[in-house]
Structure 1
Amino acid sequence: MSKETRKEEIIRVAAKLFKEKGYSAVTMRYLAEAMGIKAASLYNHIDSKQAILQHIVLAIAEDFTKGMNTVVASNENSFVKLQKIIELHVNIAVENADGLAALNSDWMHLEGKLSYYLSLRQTYEANFKSIVEKGIIENEIKPVNPEVLMFSMLSTLRSLYLWIPKKDIVDPQALSRDLCQILLTGINK
């Protein structure tokens, strides 16, 4: 494993602080103090707090987009595609719960990149809904309102960042399997 660069460290610590305090409450001075360095030193590695937020949010949004594009392009049926989407969310949440918190809570603070982020999000949700609709048409999924199903699943998946850090060990495969069971086949015996 390669050693973390100073820029990567700044982004990681900032994501944690954004999660704990909220983007608006974290200043570059506060970030520098949390890292034990002078605020001026931060600017040798990153331009601004906004640049940090953009990096965090857009990197994760692009990871979701890349994952969704792979799912959409696959020849799997809709049910399997939904399983793959659950796995995608679990893996991203396990790898970067703090960054996911910033994506979910602070995306609206993106200044010059807000429209780009919203475009990624809208396309992601349109693809998700399309998979659900196709699954309903092909009788793989019960005939329910596709938007309600999508909202229900995404509400659970987008909040994984709240639950995962409270666990000592998270097995992504087991978590994905359990979420697929609950979200896709239900709890009815």
Structure 2
Amino acid sequence: KASRGGMLGRVDDMHFSTPLAPNEAQAKGKGRYSAGYSADEGTSFYVYNYMKKSGSDYLGTVDVRRLPIDHQKTAARMGTVDLSVEATDDEGSAWWMFEADSVPYSPEKDAEIPVGAVIPGVLIQGEYSGSRADLLGGSKWRDGYWTLEVIRDMDTGHAQDLAMKTGLYVWLAVFDHNQTRHTRHSRPVRLTFN
């Protein structure tokens, strides 16, 4: 997932495998079930900047982990906030906060931020490790197109990764202002190496 770190030189390494049995919440439709789609083993350098309130099932408000030290500076880094599906993010905008730019949530700090202010939903903290750290990359929006470059060893040696070789099929999915309903190639791309 280049949407998780691709602007900072990392691409989150995920995989598809045999579907997992749903847990109790997933079986009742109360939790997200991703079938066989999971993160590779290891850690990433981001966490979501919110936590589900107990019993809420994300239908109401959520608790915030951290708030910006300077909400105006953070808003300026995010650029224009436009929820239209036709809009794009401003060049160089940053929709994340580093730990150094934020403080743990407190009602006092929350009271300093105007109602309706938008704050980043992602915190960059920690390090990538293990199989989840296999992908380096970067993305750039220019002239109406995204360019994405990803670097990975031909064979990572990790069980969750396929070795890159001629004949391997890959698909790309695009996150376009949505969380789970992605567009994707209807036919795979067949890799060829000389």
More relative contact order, 1 or 2 (CA 8 Å, 6+ apart):
1
Give the TM-score taking structure 1 as reference length: 0.28
Give the TM-score taking structure 2 as reference length: 0.28
Which structure carries more strand by proportion? 2
Which structure carries more helix by proportion? 1
